Amino acid sequence: MLALLILFFTVLLLVAFTPLLGYFENKWILPLMWGLFAAFTLLGWLVFLGIGWLNF
């Protein structure tokens, strides 16, 4: 459980610093931002549908 919490906070930290990465001229930053957007969109929908399916 502690490892999951550490992973969660690491991902949150990465998401928090992603806009600051936009100031650099690296080519991998925009795909990273789109990938994070897509991943969190899909995870959000999965959690939303999962909560509805399990009737929490």
- CA angle at residue 36 from 49 to 40, to 5 degrees? 15
- Cα(34)–Cα(38) distance, rounded to whole angstroms? 6
pLDDT per residue as tens, the chain (56 positions): 888 889 888 888 877 887 777 777 788 878 888 888 898 899 989 989 988 888 76
Largest separation between any pair of C-alpha atoms in the chain: 46
pTM here is 0.57
CA 4 vs. chain centroid, Å, equals: 14
pLDDT at residue 30 in the model:
80
Q: What are phi and psi of 25, to 5 degrees?
A: -100, 35
